Amino acid sequence: MNITELERVARDIRLRDLQAVFEAGAGHIGGEMSVIDILAALYFRVLKVWPDQPKHPDRDRFVLSKGHTACALYVTLAKRGFIPEDEISTFLKPHSRLNGHPNCNKVPGVETNTGPLGHGLPVAVGMAKAAKLSGAGYHTYVVTGDGEMQEGSNWEAIMAAAQFKLDNLTLIIDHNRFQQGASLADTNDLAPLRPKLEAFDWEVSEIDGNDMNQVVPALEHRTSRPHCIVAHTNKGQGISFMQDRVDWHHKVPSKEQYDIAIAELLEAI
């Protein structure tokens, strides 16, 4: 897909994600809105995947380490053909396989269970190392939250990736500056992230993670070292009253707010 097509897909994912959270009465809508441009670019342009063969050995691997934004991943997987689109209406309902965090045993296209923060990147490092050991050609991508980067396990994984020269690994940090209950600056301010990753011998790109013109080339970039993309995003991207508001980490819109959000997203393109 070209940039304009990807922007439309991202808009459609936002609309369906908003509807799913509103109907379920729960979710993590702020962080979902911030990461959707990255998910759209990955699944509709960058990732080598086959929805009819979700376990194809040559597929690229994607890990959503910030697993609480699972709804955005489910909508993306549905639009890409991994699961039926009408199944999104079961999000968080009893017996639904679309739980609040992704489950690789239930949902095609989910590579590993995530939810406890700080686990996804270490698992992704293992996937990338396995490819090196077996001679496989797949690339591994992982998305973490910026608040999640306070977990020490991530920095152990970052050290290991550099040591093993995992040039088949791309880390995307969704740097929306907010986490549950507070801003990153008021919790454990890791910013600026770029020099920290560079100190561990990673190549780092710094982009506007809500600008598809910057997202696509960053994801397609290849280097001789592990690659980190510091994606500056906005919590609640695309919805004026949600944007950069910490209370929208997992708040649910009222009917009036829902209608306003729908209208704003429809005007986006």
pLDDT at 161: 98
Report residue 3 as tokens.
């940039």
Q: In what helix (H) or strand (E) does residue 81 lie, and over which residues does it extend? A: none
At 227, give phi and psi (nearest 5°): -115, 130
CB 143, CB 218: distance < 8 Å: no
Q: Which residues contact 243 (CB under 8 A, 6 or more apart)?
A: 234, 235, 236, 237
Cα 18 to Cα 254: distance, rounded to the nearest angstrom: 11
At 179, give phi and psi (nearest 5°): -135, -175
pLDDT at 240: 96
Q: Amino acid identity of 54? A: P
Domains of the chain and any CATH numbers: 3-266 (3.40.50.970)
pLDDT at 269: 67
CB 145, CB 180: distance < 8 Å: no
CB 138, CB 48: distance < 8 Å: yes
Q: Would the pTM count as exceeding 0.85?
A: yes
Q: Amino acid identity of 227? A: H
Cα 68 to Cα 209: distance, rounded to the nearest angstrom: 19
pLDDT at 164: 98
Cα 114 to Cα 202: distance, rounded to the nearest angstrom: 24
At 180, give phi and psi (nearest 5°): -60, 120
CB 6, CB 41: distance < 8 Å: yes
pLDDT along the chain (269 residues), means of 10: 97 98 97 98 98 98 98 98 98 97 98 96 98 98 97 98 98 95 92 98 98 98 97 97 93 97 91
Cα 222 to Cα 250: distance, rounded to the nearest angstrom: 35
At 150, give phi and psi (nearest 5°): -75, -15
pLDDT at 268: 78
